[in-house]
């Protein structure tokens, strides 16, 4: 019951896409996530054209599932506003969307639940990982133990697996910190258009406004960590 070929830690877009890509492998796969879904994730909520492209590569039907998923809006332009107030609007040729991660990540997990053969455990996070020459042992916060031959870390920016199993350190010159908030009924936005404002005194960084469904907007400010 607790033995798998592969354990995927994290059921965000990376973990669920990984499980979907393994669906015909014949391998016994477990996805393990510390949160219960739907769960929020701080993000700009833009779904760039690489997402439809990746879903199509996995299976044409997954792209169709995304196209008919209702909690998203089409994004076809991006307005970039310079500190002087001058702006340029870029029009996208490829399809892209915006969707709150609360909804989008739940869509991805449901797709993995339906389409991949993976077992899914949520609401229980990885606490310890030990590796021997032929096996990985995972101990969770609730005291469960799972074993596998391979473990894949899809546990996000503050990855426990990264901390436990690698020596990778954050390079603050190439890392961005951000704050994000949702607002409703923001006036003056153009339909289906994201806005990026470059603000004097806050470079290298920018303020964004990305429109979402239900008259809401994802707004935020991000800047290179070493300059914060
Ligand atoms: C402010 C901000 C704005 C961004 N804007 C955009 C944007 O507009 N468009 C875009 O494409 N990208 C954006 N990104 C980047 C995007 O959020 C990430 O690239 C994306 O979420 C990575 O997906 P993931 O599946 O790797 O990780 P995540 O989505 O972070 O998922 C990781 C999962 O691992 C789980 N987990 C964590 N620790 C454990 C543990 N110990 N045990 C078990 N499970 C665990 C978490 O619960 C979570 O579900 C933004 C990021 C930030 C911070």
Cβ proximity of 209 and 80 under 8 Å: no
Please tell me whether residues 128 and 40 are part of one structural domain.
yes
| Predicted pLDDT at 169 | 85
Closest CA to 6 of 24, 25, 30: 30
Q: Which tokens hold the place of 77?
A: 């332009």
The last residue of one of the domains, among 118, 141, 165, is 165
| Predicted pLDDT at 168 | 87
Pocket of ligand 1 (CB under 6 A): 9-15, 32-35, 41-46, 48, 125-126, 154-156, 160, 178, 180, 220, 222
Cα(86) to ligand 1 centroid in Å equals 33
Cα(87) to ligand 1 centroid in Å equals 30
List the residue whose alpha carbon is closest to atom 36 of ligand 1.
Answer: 155
Asked whether residue 54 is assigned to any structural domain, the reply reads no
pTM reported for the whole predicted model = 0.96
Asked whether residue 69 is assigned to any structural domain, the reply reads no
57 vs 18, 68, 82, 111, CA distance in Å? 12, 18, 37, 15
Beta bridge partners of 167: none
Instruction: Looking at the CA of residue 159, tell me the nearest atom of ligand 1.
Output: 38
Asked whether residue 83 is assigned to any structural domain, the reply reads yes
Taking every pair of C-alpha atoms in the chain, what is the biggest distance, in angstroms?
62
Instruction: Looking at the CA of residue 155, tell me the nearest atom of ligand 1.
Output: 34
CATH number, residue 201: 3.30.9.10
Asked whether residue 193 is assigned to any structural domain, the reply reads yes
Q: Which tokens hold the place of 110?
A: 């449901």
Please tell me whether residues 125 and 212 are part of one structural domain.
no
pLDDT, tens digit only, all 228 positions of the chain:
899 999 999 999 999 999 999 999 999 999 999 999 999 999 999 999 999 999 999 999 999 999 999 999 999 999 999 999 999 999 999 999 999 999 999 999 999 999 999 999 999 999 999 999 999 999 999 999 999 999 999 999 999 999 999 988 888 899 999 999 999 999 999 999 999 999 998 888 999 999 999 999 999 999 999 888
DSSP code string of 26-75: ---EEEEESSPSS----S--EE-THHHHHHHHH-HHHHHHHHH-SS-EE-
| Predicted pLDDT at 133 | 92
> Which domain range does residue 86 map to?
77-95+172-227
Please tell me whether residues 109 and 159 are part of one structural domain.
yes
Please tell me whether residues 114 and 201 are part of one structural domain.
no
For residues 46 and 88, give the distance between their C-alpha atoms in angstroms, rounded to a whole number: 19
């Amino acid at each position: 019951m607790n033995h798998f070929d592969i354990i995927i830690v994290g059921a965000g877009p990376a973990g669920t896409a990984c499980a979907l890509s393994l669906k015909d492998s014949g391998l016994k796969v477990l996805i393990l996530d510390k949160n219960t879904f739907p769960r929020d994730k701080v993000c700009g909520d833009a779904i760039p054209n690489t997402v439809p492209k990746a879903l199509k590569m996995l299976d044409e039907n997954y792209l169709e599932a995304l196209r008919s998923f209702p909690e998203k809006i089409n994004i076809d332009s991006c307005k970039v506003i310079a500190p002087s107030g001058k702006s340029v609007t870029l029009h996208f040729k490829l399809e892209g969307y915006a969707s709150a991660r609360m909804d989008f990540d739940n869509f991805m997990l449901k797709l993995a639940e339906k389409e991949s053969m993976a077992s899914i455990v949520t609401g229980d996070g990885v606490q310890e990982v030990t590796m021997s020459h032929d096996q990985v042992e995972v101990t969770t916060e609730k005291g469960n133990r799972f074993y596998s031959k391979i473990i894949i870390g899809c546990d996000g920016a503050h990855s426990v697996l990264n901390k436990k199993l690698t020596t990778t350190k954050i390079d603050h010159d190439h890392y961005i910190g951000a704050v994000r908030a949702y607002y409703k009924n923001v006036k003056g936005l153009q339909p289906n258009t994201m806005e990026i404002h470059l603000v004097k005194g806050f470079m290298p960084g920018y303020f964004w406004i990305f429109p979402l469904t239900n008259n809401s907007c994802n707004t935020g400010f991000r800047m290179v960590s070493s300059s914060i």
